[in-house]
Amino acid sequence: MNAAYVPSDYLPVFIQLILALGFIVTTMIVTHMVGPKRNSQKKDDPFECGIPVVGDARTPISIKYFLIAILFVLFDVEVIFMYPWAVNFKQLGVTGFLEMILFMGLLLSGFYYVIRKGVLKWE
């Protein structure tokens, strides 16, 4: 049973690696080749409705984006606790259900707090 892997066993992994890389490389090369190319100085300039360029291209992004991204990370990750719970749902029984309700309740109270703080107001 405990026979060691022989190198050929890694073949599927290797093939998938090549396929994945190959796809990216191919698409990049193909897009460059397929489209027509006409370069000119005007065209390479940053362009904004005929008005000459002012200031930095990297305009400050509203802090809202960061906040939402950060909140997403936080709430998103909590899902991982639901997988094992779901798998063992039957064995855990009512207690498990109540515990998950408590867990979700805590999460939701956090969510409510975020809303009350006005983080999600999109103005």
Which one of 24, 77, 95, 121 is in contact with other proteins (CB under 8 A)? 77
Which of 67, 66, 60, 57 lies closest to 114, judged by CA?
Answer: 67
Which of 117, 18, 3 lies closest to 71, judged by CA?
Answer: 117
Q: Of 45 and 99, which has the nearer Cβ to other proteins?
A: 99
Would you count residue 33 as binding other proteins (CB under 8 A)? no
Q: How far is the CB of 76 from other proteins (least distance, A)?
A: 8
Per-residue binder mask for other proteins (CB under 8 A), 87-116, x = binder: -------------------x--x---x--x
Check residue 93 and give left, alpha or beta (phi > 0: left; psi -120 to 50: alpha). Answer: left
Would you count residue 54 as binding other proteins (CB under 8 A)? no
Q: How far is the CB of 70 from other proteins (least distance, A)?
A: 5
CA dist., res. 14 & res. 10, Å (int): 6
